Structure 1
Amino acid sequence: MTKSKVLISGASVAGPALAYFLHRDGYEVTVVERAPVPRDSGYAVDFRGAALDVLAEMGILAAIREHETEMHGTALLDEAGTEIGQLPAEAFAGELEVPKRVLTRILHEITAASVEYVFGDSISALTEHESGVTVEFEHGPAREFDLVFGADGVYSKVRQLAFGPHDEMVCHLGLSGAGFTTANYLGLDHSGLLQSAGSTAIYLFSAADRDRLTVSLSFATDSPALDRRDRAEQERAVRAAFAGNGWQAPHLLEAMTAADDFYFSSSCQVGLDRWSCGRVALLGDAGYCAAPTSGAGTSQALIGARTLARALADADGDYPSAFTAYETELRPYVAENQSNGRAAAAMFGGEASAEGVDRQ
Structure 2
Amino acid sequence: MRTVLISGGGIAGNTLAWWLARHGIRVTVVERAAGQRSSGNPVDVRGPALPVVTAMGLRDELAAAATPVTGMRLVDDAGATVARVPMSASSSDPGLEIPRADLAAILHRAAADDVEFRYDDTITGLAEDAGGVDVTFAVGAPRRFDLVVGADGLHSTVRRLAFGPEATHVRHLGVWVATLPLGAPADDPYDVLLHNSPGRLVSVHPARGSALAAFIFRGGPVDGFDHRDLAQHKRLVVEAYAQQRGWRVPELLDRVRAADDLYFDSVSRVHLPRWSRGRVVLVGDAASCVSLFGDGSSLAVAGAYTLADALADTADHATAFDRYETWHRRRTEPRRRAARYAAGLLVPRTRFGLAARNASARALTGLRAAR
2:192 maps to amino acid: G
Structure 1 position 154, deviation (Å): 0.4
Match of 1:196 in 2: 196
Q: CA deviation at 1:79?
A: 4.8
Q: Which moved more, 1:321-330 or 1:335-344?
A: 335-344
Alignment partner, residue 147 of structure 1 = 147
Q: Matches of residues 223-302 of structure 1 in structure 2 within 5 Å?
A: 223=221, 225-228=224-227, 230-245=229-244, 246-294=246-294, 296-302=295-301
Unaligned runs of 5+ in 1: 352-360
Alpha-carbon distance between aligned partners in 2 of 1:18 and 1:186, rounded to the nearest angstrom:
34
- Aligned mates of 1:63, 1:134 — CA distance in 2: 38
Superposed, which structure 2 residues align to 1:1-360 within 5 Å?
3-79=1-77, 81-90=79-88, 91=90, 94-182=94-182, 187-209=187-209, 212-223=210-221, 225-228=224-227, 230-245=229-244, 246-294=246-294, 296-314=295-313, 316-349=314-347
- CA-CA distance at 1:107 after TM superposition: 1.4
Q: How many angstroms apart in 2 are the aligned matches of 1:226 and 1:201?
A: 21
Q: Distance in 1 between matches of 2:29 and 2:321?
A: 20
Measured against aligned partners, the alpha-carbon deviations of 1:155-196 in whole angstroms (never above 9, x if no partner) come to: 100000001110011011111122112265861222111122
Partner Cα distance (1:179, 1:226) in 2: 17
Q: In structure 2, do the counterparts of structure 1 residues 228 and 98 end up closer, same or farther at CA, with 3 Å as the change threshold?
A: closer
How far off is 1:266 after superposition?
Answer: 1.5
Check the 8 A contact 2:181/2:261 in 1, yes or no.
yes
TM-score (norm 1): 0.90
Q: Which amino acid aligns with 1:106?
A: I
- 1:82 positional shift: 3.4
- The equivalent residue for 1:358 is none
What SS does the aligned partner of 1:36 have? coil
The amino acid across from 1:146 in the alignment is: D
TM-score, structure 2 normalization: 0.88
Deviation at 1:85, TM superposition (A): 1.6
Deviations 1:54-102 (A, max 9, x none): 1011111111111121211011134554322222225489310122222
Does 250-259 or 155-164 show the bigger shift?
A: 250-259
Aligned length: 345
- Residue identity opposite 1:119 in structure 2: Y
For 1:293, what is the secondary structure of its paired residue?
A: coil
Q: Tell me how far 1:267 sits from its aligned partner.
A: 0.7
Most deviating of 226-235 and 58-67:
226-235
Cα 1:280–1:299 shift into 2, 3 Å: same
Distance in 1 of aligned mates of 2:303 and 2:75: 36
> What displacement does 1:227 show?
4.4
The one-letter code matched in structure 2 to 1:41 is: S
Query: How big is each residue's C-alpha offset from its partner over 1:106-128, in whole Å with a ceiling of 9 and x where there is no partner?
Result: 21111111111111111101011
Aligned letter for 1:17?
A: T
User: How many Å apart are 1:350 and its aligned residue?
Assistant: 8.3
Instruction: Give the Cα–Cα distance (whole angstroms) in 2 for the partners of residues 10 and 186 of structure 1.
Output: 31
RMSD: 2.0
- On the 8 A contact 2:123/2:135 being kept in 1, the answer is yes
What SS does the aligned partner of 2:136 have? strand
Q: 1:186 to 1:155 in 2, by over 3 A?
A: closer
Identity %: 40
Conserved 8 A contact 1:188-1:205: no
Shift of 1:16: 1.0
- Distance between the aligned counterparts of 1:330 and 1:177, measured in 2? 26
Q: CA deviation at 1:18?
A: 0.5
- 8 Å CA contact 1:132–1:144 kept in 2: the answer is yes
Q: Which amino acid aligns with 1:272?
A: L
Amino acid at match of 2:131: S
Q: Is the 8 A contact 2:154 2:286 kept in 1?
A: yes
**Partner residue, 1:357:** none
1:225-266, CA deviations, whole angstroms, 9 ceiling, x for partnerless residues?
A: 544363233222222211221222111111222334222122
Secondary structure at 1:188's aligned position in 2?
coil
Change in Cα spacing, 1:216 to 1:183, as seen in structure 2 (3 Å) is: same
Note the residue ranges of structure 2 that are not aligned, 5 or more in a row.
350-371
